[in-house]
């Protein structure tokens, strides 16, 4: 199995609904996002996917989150803007344009992250 990974980041604000604690109040993060693509085969150039092409697709998705109040985005009006749901949002958007196995990890802090992937 081959794997490639790219990382990027975005800044945004959110507050968690139905949560008792500090995170129910409006606050922000500088989220780090890691994208892992994997597969059993390589393309004609010997790559799972070109890094630049993957980075461009990720940057396009993250631009919809960057410097936004996530709770106001349509996707997060019904889903709580947790790191888990942010990972799922990014995964689902990326899966529409890349037909590979994808794992998305979203780091809320340097010591806390959530991931979403399909098998």
Residue of 23, 24, 27, 53 marked active site: 23
CATH number of the domain encompassing residue 22: 3.30.479.10
pLDDT of residue 90: 98
List the domain range (segments joined by +) for residue 86: 2-117
What's the number of domains the chain is made of? 1
Tell me the pLDDT of the chain averaged across its residues. Answer: 96
Total H helices, total E strands in the chain:
3, 5
- Does position 80 have pLDDT exceeding 90, yes or no? yes
108 is catalytic: yes
| Cα gap 42→82, rounded to integer Å | 34
- Does position 101 have pLDDT exceeding 90, yes or no? yes
Tens of pLDDT along 15-73?
999 999 888 999 999 999 999 999 999 999 999 999 999 999 999 999 999 999 999 99
Q: Say how far residue 8 (Cα) sits from the centre of its chain.
A: 9
Helices (H), the chain: 51-63, 75-78, 83-95
67 is catalytic: yes
- Does position 118 have pLDDT exceeding 90, yes or no? no
**SS3 call for 94:** helix
């Amino acid at each position: 199995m081959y794997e490639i990974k790219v990382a990027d980041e975005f800044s945004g604000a959110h507050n968690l609904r139905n949560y008792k604690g500090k995170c129910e109040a409006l606050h922000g993060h500088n989220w780090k996002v890691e994208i892992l693509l994997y597969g059993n085969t390589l393309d004609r150039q010997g790559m799972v996917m070109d890094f630049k092409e993957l980075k461009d697709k990720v940057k396009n998705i993250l631009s919809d989150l960057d410097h936004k109040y996530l709770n106001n985005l349509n996707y997060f009006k019904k889903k709580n803007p947790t790191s888990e749901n942010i990972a799922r949002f990014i995964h689902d958007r990326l899966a529409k344009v890349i037909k590979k196995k994808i794992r998305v990890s979203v780091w809320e802090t340097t010591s806390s992250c959530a991931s979403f992937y399909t098998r």
